[in-house]
Every structure is written in C-alpha cells, then in structure tokens.
Structure 1
Amino acid sequence: MSYTYQITTDDMLIGKRIDDVIYISLESFYSYITSDKATYDDVGINIEMARFFSFINEVDKLIIDLTGDENIISNILVDNFFTSLSVFISILPEFLKVEVKGQNLDVADSYISKRKSEISDIIEFNNKIVKKIRSNSLSKQVETIIYGSCDSRDIFRIYQDTNRVTRFNIVYYATNISIATILATPFLYDKNFVKLESKFLESCVRDDLSKVIVNNIIKSMTPDSIFVIDLMDERFDIIRCSGSEFTKSWNLQKTELFKNLNIDSVLHFDSEEKYENTCKNITKLLNVLSGLISSNRIFFNETLMCTHYFNNDSAFIPFSNECYSIDAFNIFISRVIEYVKVNHSSINFISTPPYLNFGDCTHLWGLHPYHYNKTFYLSRARQIFSSLV
C-alpha cells in the first residue's frame, strides 16, 4: 500500500488519515524543517515525520499546500522557509513525487530565481512548485571504494534495495579498522589464529594487522573511481603490541589471536594522542588519493552516533550513553570533522539535516546508535549522485 502525505492549514484535516492520505499541520511542518536541532519529544509532528522517513518506501506523494488560512501562509512564506524546504526536498529519494501548490507563489518564484544553484531539483509552473525527478542515469556503473563503517556501505545497499537498480560497483570495502593505525608497523601473527565465520570480516582483521589498507585502496582505484570514507570505526580503542598498533574491534576480540596477545598498552578511542594520529593519517591518505582521483570524487561521510531511535510506532527511545559512550564519541569525531573541513576543503562532505538523525529499530545489522533510518542513507546517496551526474 502507498500513501500520500499532505501538509495543510485545514484544522479539520490535521492529524487525520483519510483513505490513503495523511494530513500534517503546515505550521508544525514549518517549525520542524527550520529547527537547527533534532527534537525527540513524542509530539504529533515528530512522530508523523519519523514514520514518513522510516517507511519512505511506502510513500508515493508529498503535497505541501500553501493555500487556506492567509494569516498562517503569510507568516510562513519567508526566505528561511524556502531555504529549509529546498533542503528537505533535496534529501528525498527520486521516486517520491513532491508538489508545492498555492494561489500565489510570487515569493517562492522570486526565491527560486535567486537560488537556482541550491534547489536545482525544483521547477515551478502554473502556480505550483514541483520537484523535478532526476533519472540519475549514469553511463556505466561507478567503481566505488569504501573505507569506513556500514554507515557508508549502507548508502549503496539501501539505495539499491529501494530503487531496484545498481549504479555503483563496490570494488573494495574495508571496515572496523581505525584510520589512526593504518600506517603503523605490520604485526606478525599466525594466520591460523585469525579465523572468523565471516570471511569478509576475517579479511578486514587480517588487513588491519598486516597494514595493507592503503595499498589495497590504491590498487583498487582508477581515475573514474569514487572514494567514500567515514569515521564511525574510530569508536574502537587501539591496541599496542610488539611495536605495532591495531584496532580493538569486536571481530579481533573473537579470534584466538586476541586471547593470546601480550598487550603492551591500550590507547583510548577519544584520547588526545588518538585524535592527533587520526588527523595525521587522514591527511596522509587524502594527499595520496588526490594524486589518483579528482577531489570531487572523494566523499567524506559525516556520521556521528544518534542519541535516539524511533520504535516505528509512536515514540523515540534514547540509546544508553553509558553503554555506547555517545557523547564522548561525538565530541571526538566532531573535532576530527572540523579538522578535515579546514585542511581538505576541496573534497565533498555529505551530511543530513538534524531531523534525520535517528536510529532504525528494524535495521538489517541490529539496533545501535550508528544504524540509521532509510531516508538518512537515501539522502546521502542523492548527494553523491548530484556530484556525479
């Protein structure tokens, strides 16, 4: 079953579901999309929009109706509304039809004429502003290299599952490996002691120990490749042992090797030394990549841990900060992101508005503060597309 969401000023309709149409208050929608921070109160607009984003596959059309109560409309038709509206529309997946309609859209028309570069997905005609559906057609699949967590891999997995089309060919993917360790001295080990049920995860542990990540990235890359990186795996501590450093990932801890290690010391994930090593190695890696591909084919996926998840019904539930060290991790990663933006401003940075930053209780890989809702990933896929098409 598919649904239509309609944003309206009609008090008689707000909060109701009639047939397959769900009605939401325009005033509440305005406050929601223009807020500069996420809110997780269990109020109507937060819950309805969380459902909208979580079940985006089931939404066929979104209508934003700027007719009705003229007092409400006049208070809303201001620049910051259209700025936020353009961002909101730009994050939605290609299949979703979006229509903004009204009796008089002169303000919107004027805004669009000045901001075409920001809202190229929108065209206006006959007193309506309608989302242009981009085909996002690429002449061939884009060879894609990912160094990071499932927060980057899931951009492509969920895009493919949602649109039933594969536009990216993942030629190399390395995960659960801290970038702070990739240039350390290789660790000599008995391969018989590194056995995991997943051969892919086993290979990631081996690559971390052997320090072959950078070489593997270089060997996998062509001038037409894209490179996607995130820092979610910096949540792991660093083990120092026998002159080497490697990631204390959950997968390493499942091996016989870990059980028999004589660990010299452990570097905490958010220590100042770890921060310095992380920034230093990011710069070295990006400098190498800049000689292989254009900077506009490098995508830095800005991903923090979310503080809440939506239970797919009527409530936001907080994650345990004590269990996941969410606050400490987010402070650490925000510092690293700021460093990268200052020192590597020519690459692409992909992010999402604050209202998309909530977890998915039905995520394929389980319920954790780094497993987000579908629209979170689809919005980032669109940002990558917009840089390539």
Structure 2
Amino acid sequence: MFPIRDHNPSLKTPLVTYALIAVNIVVFVLSLGPMNDPAMVEWFYINFSLIPQLSLPQTFLTSQFLHGGFMHLAGNMWFLWLFGDNMEDEMGRLPFLGFYLLGGVAAGLAQVAADPGSMIPMVGASGAIAAVMGGYLLMFPRARVDVLIILVIFFKMLPIPAWIVLGAWLAIQVFSGAATPGDVGGVAYWAHAGGFVAGIALTLPLFLRRGGPAFWSRTHGHPPQPQGALPAAPQFHSQDRTSSMKDTEPRRATCHCGAVELSILLADGLNTVRRCDCSFCSRRGAPAVSVEVGDLEVVRGADTLTLYQFNTNTAQHYFCSVCGVYTHHRRRSNPNQFGVNVGNIEGINPADLGNIPWNDGRNHPSDR
C-alpha cells in the first residue's frame, strides 16, 4: 500500500515545501563525494548524523537533511511533496518551516529515548515528514489519497481517506518499532512514531484556533480547494447548446456547500440536457445532462453523498448529506450513464439554456 497522489491542490505555491525538497536533493548530491574516503565518512557521520549515544546538539537538525541512498531520499521527498503543500497552505510559510524542523528534532529525541546507548547513525527527513503527516491527519482526516494496492501481480489504485492511510502507517511504525531489537539498524521506527505524535501536538494550537471540531464541520475534513482545481468552464448560452460544444477537458461540478465535488466530461456538450416529469424528478426540479460512467469522478466528498432509490430500486439518486442538493444519478434507462445536475456545473446557468426538452418519466418503458 503506497500513497501515490491526493486530490487536494494547494491554494498557494508551496515554496517552503519545494525549497526543502531542493535542499535535501542538493545535500544528498554533495554528500556523495566524501563517501569514497573511510576517514571522511567516519568524520561526516559523527558530526552530522544523529548518533543516540553521542547526541551532539547540531545533529538533531543536520541529520534531517542526510539520506542513506537514492531510494531513501526519493521516498521521503515523495511523502513531503504529497502532504506538505496543504500543511504549508494552512500554517503559512515560515510557521510551516519552524513546524517541520521542530517535528524533526522531536523525532530524533524519540529515537534517542527509545535506544539511548545506540551507536547506529540516524539520517533522513522521515521524522520531520512524519510530523507533517501527523498534522495533516489532525487537520484533514477525510482528505482523499490515491493509494496503490499491490497484491502479487494485481495492481489497483483506490482513493482512501487520509485518516485510514495515515493511521495505518502510524500503526505499522509502532508495531515494527516494538518488534525490532534496539541494536538492529535499518528503519528508525520510533523516530517516525515520535515525529507523527509531535506533529499532532504542534498542530493542535492551530486546529483549536480554527475552531477544533467546528473546523472539521466547515471543511468536512478536507483542505480548501482552489477554484482553478479544474480548467475553467466556458459560459454557455441558449444558442451554444450544439454539438460543437463538446468537451475535451473535464469540468468541475459542486453541491451548494462544496462538500461534494465532481469532475465530469460532457462528451456530447449540452445536447443531452433534459427535464423529467416522473414522480421524483418533477419534485426535484433540476435539469440533468448525460455523462458516461467513465467520464465522472467524485473528486471530493464521496463519503458525504447519500443515496435515494424508489420503485424498482434501479436508478441511484445521489445527494449531498450536508446541504441536501442533488448532484447526480445513475440512470435506470441506461446504467452506463449518469445524469448530472446542470445547476451544479461551474460556468453554466440553466436559465440561459432556453427551452429544455422534457422526458416522459411518468410513462417510463421499464414500468410497462
């Protein structure tokens, strides 16, 4: 199980996150030179890596920028890139930098406390990044993270809430740390666990200033989303509802409160916009446009959607459980299509679409 990406672009360019990644890469490249001289290697590790028995003060900082190999560096920088931008957005650039470094120091202290007599050098940014992950869990527990699941020869990408991904990661660190003898080198599990807990503790004041649990209620446990997360949608008017307006880029559609966000591709433009006079749709009132099943993605808020079915229980009607707005439905007449609420689509005003055709839902073929 490996996190690949999230669906939570930052509102601002995460300059500190990028700078930390760049510094780590530069330090790694520069450190390759001394590795050919055994005496230089010994001096280098004593003065810059964190050796618990020595615990030289400067090494609690310098060790955060050293890595034992390319894959060690690549894995750490991937996690920093994945989770750092939203935390930097929420904290601000300089506070995030201080948070990152303090989290790394706390991770080092945790490893020293777990095995104070060890002479095994500890290097890597993973303790500081674990603090970022801990803060992310507290602030954005329901953010979706795409995780690659590998089962022998089978590969599957699944969007999983951050609290599951990060909670599972922490559990692995604690279990592995408890099961690994202190005199065995390898992974500094207690640094990871200590950094994670420190990240939660350091983020707690910010979380409380945002309102604590009320912050989760406002944001639904997700980072704030930039309006430009998807390409801007052109404005449509009644005369534009023609086959020439087929989409080549996805559109953004949201419910009223923003808890649910869809990415949709209108492969046939607005040619398929319809109203329906069935017992349900006539009460719902919203016109819908057809979207192929493969052209709709729930970007945010899948766990906020509620399902309503009636009569044959074939059609699946989805609503935001927070604001109550209808978002989309899977059609009874064609299960390979969704109908999407036109009023939710960014840049489209249903009032500009002129006379919208009606489907005869009261005499549906499936009811005969």
**TM exceeding 0.5:** no
State which structure, 1 or 2, has the greater radius of gyration over its C-alpha atoms.
Answer: 2
Higher relative contact order (CA 8 A, sep 6+): 1
TM-score range (shorter-chain normalised) is under 0.3
TM-score by length of 1: 0.22
TM superposition score normalised by structure 2: 0.23
